[in-house]
Amino acid sequence: MDEERREPVPRESVRVFGPRCTAAEVAAALAPHQSAIVHGVDDAAPFQTLLDTDRILYLSRGILSERELAQLLAPRGEVSFDRYLDAQQLRRVALAQSVSELADALRAAIVRATKADRARCVLFDAGRQVLWTPDESDGDSAAAGLVSFALRSGVSLCIARAGDDPRFDPELDGDASDRFLATPVFARGRAIAVLVAARTSPPFEPAELAALDAIATHASPYLAAWLLDADDETPFRRHALREREQPAGAGPEPLRVDSAWTRGAPWLALATLVAVVLALLFVRVPAYATGRAIVRGDGAVVASFAATAPIDRGMTVRFHNQSLPIETAYTKGAQRIVITAKGGVPGTRGKAEVRVGTLRLLDALQGAAR
């Protein structure tokens, strides 16, 4: 059976009890709808009744630090990219004009999301099998170091002290005393970059690793656009990139359309023409007679139509968003007069409509043209 999902406990509904408190003292001090955090107890057995009745939020034999207590009292919610970044930073990532600008935008995003002292966006050159950082390094071996491990394994890393890890490489991973966080960026089923966050203290939390993962997911299509060959996706990208590389004074290159796209165009045009002709001949649309109407003193609607309109008792008049049945219909000169059931506000004027049948779409268009 799935566990019941509970909302975070409000801070004011939780009381904290320190070392050597007794179960009786906790039970006596708790008000209705309050729960307790109890830490530093020698024996948890006396608290079993409170646990069974959901009066204890958390019980620890050891003494919790202030930071750990704060984490219990203010649990983190779901991590998402836009929770940590404002619209300006999202815009920087989306509108980057070079891979260097994109890396700078991602570094700023990482620092904001993880409260890191330093951040890097390390890119992978699959052709040379090296890792490189825009504006910092041209290439380091992708065969050693924590960053390389994250790239090769596809696994995120959270290291309490980078230098204590046997995979650490100072040339690629930075300061040995750093708290280290890294996550790979995937595109088309392979790792193309690694995002790195580092700081002196305190240690990184799981929520900050989740934030870094969210940034990596968001950055994936933008990095892929700069790092991966996209010729297999669209026939236009190759021409656009070639035109961008031309000198400023060179004329634009005509955009060539792949012949495979135009091979079926004549058949598509013929099928469209046949569909239009069939629709004109066989599709039927409602036909309406329209006229002017007024609500007389007793609430009945009196409407006049052309004398040729095939309107009779039992049909329905649409007037001011109401559907009123016709009770009387007669011809007077060049007009067909109808009187409906009561249902209007006396003195109201407007357009009245009566559905008188259906027409072929072709006939309706010809009538509209006339």
User: pLDDT, tens digit, for every residue of 338-368?
Assistant: 999 887 788 888 899 998 888 787 776 776 6
What are the structural domain ranges in the chain? Answer: 11-73, 81-227, 284-369
β-bridge pairing 322-332 and 316-319: antiparallel
Model confidence at 61: pLDDT above 90: no
β-bridge pairing 14-17 and 130-133: unpaired
CATH of 81-227, one of 3.30.450.40, 3.40.50.720, 3.40.50.2000, 3.40.50.1700: 3.30.450.40
- Enter the CATH code of domain 284-369: 2.40.30
Per-residue model confidence (pLDDT) at position 233: 47
Model confidence at 79: pLDDT above 50: no
Give percent of the chain above pLDDT 90.
17
Q: Is the dihedral of CA 169, 173, 174, 178 positive or negative?
A: negative
- The answer to whether the CB of 289 falls within 8 A of the CB of 306 is yes
Going along 262-334, which residue ranges are E strands? 284-295, 300-306, 316-319, 322-332
Q: Which residues contact 362 (CB under 8 A, 6 or more apart)?
A: 280, 281
Per-residue model confidence (pLDDT) at position 245: 56
Model confidence at 234: pLDDT above 60: no
Q: Is the dihedral of CA 247, 248, 250, 255 positive or negative?
A: positive
